[in-house]
């Protein structure tokens, strides 16, 4: 083959390349239009039956030399690019997405604004055990000028034989304490049937790590207007976490606070691995406030303070930690709750750090 013939053939390939490029781009623009139609209909974009049908139609008219297998391989790659583009635009459509709403969501709990640039702090016992115990923590928290308290009424425990929380009685204790103290109270519920009673007795509904993908619970709290503190699942990816929040917003409730609480890894030095990188990612990807629970993530009182500082340094809107009047006799998480003396030291350092 002469050099001239080679050049001529290469020129022809260049022309065909351009034709393929134009055809693929044209295909992409049709896909975008189809995506818009499907999104209005609320249907999922990927349709494997349609994909099979397209491949069969191409195989029927294939004159070679491409084998049918090579044809499938080539066109599946083209289909994949289209799907990836659809996925990207779907992300932009999420209600929680920063692309959809550039300004920060601020969640109001009484007089406290979570997500306004000033860090918020939530302390309190792992579980509500009695009125006296809860009121004692409330007094301690108030003495520091803080305005929010946590306390579990429904405790999702690994063993069914461990203390399960006081249930509705616990929520009522929180209601009594919030009325006495003026503090905003946060507590977890684990079932949609308790949404109504929670709305009456507490200020923020917590959805715990074990229930991050309890979709019926997410939908139920989404139907209220109550602030929701949504904790990251034990083994949830950031994407799954974001979509769990989307379930709540999709039902009409915009008042969602995300909470990083550590994920399960092979590391045993801490109870869970605190994924601080999730904080700036969640702040970038979503417009929701992000808090960090330093108790359930680290499980270690000796490193809670530096981890709390680190959380604020990477942009967290707040920190949560557990405090109990007498952790030695606590009915849950006895080893990791701070006693009042430890809390005094923790808070005095964290307060000055947060004001810097």
Residue 133 CB, nearest approach to ligand PEP (Å):
15
Q: What are phi and psi of 134, to 5 degrees?
A: -70, -40
129 binds Mn ion (CB under 5 A): no
Please identify, using beta-carbon distances, which residue of 191 and 334 lies nearer to Mn ion. Answer: 334
> Where does residue 279 rank: exposed (0-12), middle (13-18), buried (19+ CB within 10 A)?
buried
Is residue 209 a contact residue for ligand PEP (CB under 6 A)? yes
Q: Closer CB to Mn ion, residue 130 or residue 277? A: 130
Mark 108-127 with x for binding to Mn ion (rule: CB under 5 A) and - for no binding. Answer: ------------------x-
| Contact by Cβ (8 Å): 229, 186 | yes
Cβ proximity to ligand PEP, 86 vs 301, nearer residue: 301
Cβ count near 327 (within 10 Å): 20
How many Å apart are CA 288 and CA 286, to the nearest integer?
Answer: 6
End-to-end CA distance of the chain: 76
**The one among 107, 114, 122, 126 contacting ligand PEP by CB under 6 A:** 126
Does the protein bind ligand PEP through residue 152 (CB under 6 A)?
yes
Which residue of 119, 124, 184, 208 would you call a contact of ligand PEP, by CB under 6 A?
208
Contacts of 290 (CB under 8 A, 6+ apart): 257, 258, 259, 260, 278, 279, 282, 283, 315, 316, 317
Q: How far apart, in whole angstroms, are the C-alpha atoms of residue 33 and residue 53?
A: 20
CB of 241 to Mn ion, least distance (A): 19
Interface positions, 227-246, toward ligand PEP (CB under 6 A):
231
333 is a contact residue toward Mn ion (CB under 5 A): yes
Please work out the total of residues on this chain that contact ligand PEP, with binding judged by CB under 6 A.
10
**Between 126 and 245, CB nearer to ligand PEP:** 126
3-state SS assignment for residue 232? coil
Binding residues for ligand PEP, per CB under 6 A? Answer: 126, 152, 188, 208-210, 231, 261, 293, 296
């Amino acid at each position: 083959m002469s050099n001239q013939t080679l050049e001529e053939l290469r020129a022809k390939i260049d022309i065909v390349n351009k034709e393929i490029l134009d055809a693929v781009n044209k295909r992409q623009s049709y896909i975008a239009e189809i995506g818009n139609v499907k999104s209005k209909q609320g249907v999922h974009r990927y349709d494997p039956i349609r994909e099979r049908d397209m491949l069969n139609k191409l195989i029927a008219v294939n004159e070679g030399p491409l084998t049918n297998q090579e044809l499938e391989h080539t066109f599946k790659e083209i289909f994949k690019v289209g799907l990836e583009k659809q996925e990207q635009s779907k992300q932009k459509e999420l209600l929680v997405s920063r692309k959809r709403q550039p300004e920060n969501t601020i969640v109001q709990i009484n007089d406290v604004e979570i997500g306004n640039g000033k860090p918020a702090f939530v302390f309190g016992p792992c579980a509500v055990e009695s009125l006296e115990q809860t009121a004692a923590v409330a007094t301690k928290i108030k003495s520091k000028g803080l305005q929010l308290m946590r306390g579990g009424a429904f405790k999702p425990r690994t063993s069914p034989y461990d203390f399960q929380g006081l249930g509705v009685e616990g929520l009522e204790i929180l209601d009594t304490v919030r009325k006495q103290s003026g503090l905003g109270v946060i507590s977890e519920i684990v079932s949609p049937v308790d949404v109504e009673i929670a709305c009456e007795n507490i200020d923020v509904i917590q959805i715990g790590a074990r229930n991050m993908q309890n979709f019926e619970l997410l939908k139920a709290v989404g139907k209220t207007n109550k602030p929701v503190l949504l904790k990251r699942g034990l083994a949830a990816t950031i994407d799954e976490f974001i979509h769990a929040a989307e379930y709540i917003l999709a039902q009409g409730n915009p008042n969602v606070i995300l909470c990083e609480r550590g994920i399960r890894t092979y590391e045993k030095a801490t109870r869970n691995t605190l994924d601080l990188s999730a904080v700036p990612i969640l702040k970038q990807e979503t417009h929701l406030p992000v808090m960090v629970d330093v108790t359930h993530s680290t499980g270690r009182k000796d490193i809670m303070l530096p981890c709390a500082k680190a959380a604020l340094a990477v942009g967290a809107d707040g920190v949560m930690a557990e405090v109990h009047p007498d952790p030695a006799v606590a009915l849950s998480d006895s080893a990791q709750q701070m006693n009042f003396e430890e809390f005094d030291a923790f808070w005095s350092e964290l307060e000055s750090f947060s004001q810097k």
